Amino acid sequence: MHDTKDWYGPKAATFGDRVAAAREMSEMTQAQLARRLGVRVATLRAWEDDMSEPRAHRLSIMAGLLNVSMMWLINGQGEGLDAPAEDVILPASANEILNELRDLRVDMMARVEQMGRLEKKLRTALKEEAHERAA
């Protein structure tokens, strides 16, 4: 059974999901919202894809532009969007798949961060080795 009460809550939607939903409800494109926020479209896309998050001042401006509260964007609580009007009831298998996709997205983001740290370590090790050879 579909629980409309928690449609945009932390277990059902991510920060990026809420940004994208609020932007779409405001009938703005990514380019339009990015321009109004003074950021690149790639930056907004990264926020909507949960690859990064805005700093507090941009978050505050975005909440105002989208007519939602900062807390709603962050965790789905407070003034935000109502659940979609359609009373869509997803089969349990669809909910399981959606949950697995969210888990996979979180795992992939953690792996990307891990790759970044390893790349930085490798660059540092290569620089140190080059300095040792030069000395």
How do residues 43-95 score in pLDDT, each as one tens digit? 999 999 989 999 999 999 999 899 888 888 888 777 666 655 555 676 778 77
Architecture (CATH level 2) of domain 1-84: Orthogonal Bundle (1.10)
Q: What global pTM score does this model have?
A: 0.56
- Three-state DSSP at 97 gives helix
How do residues 4-36 score in pLDDT, each as one tens digit? 445 555 566 788 988 998 898 889 999 999 999
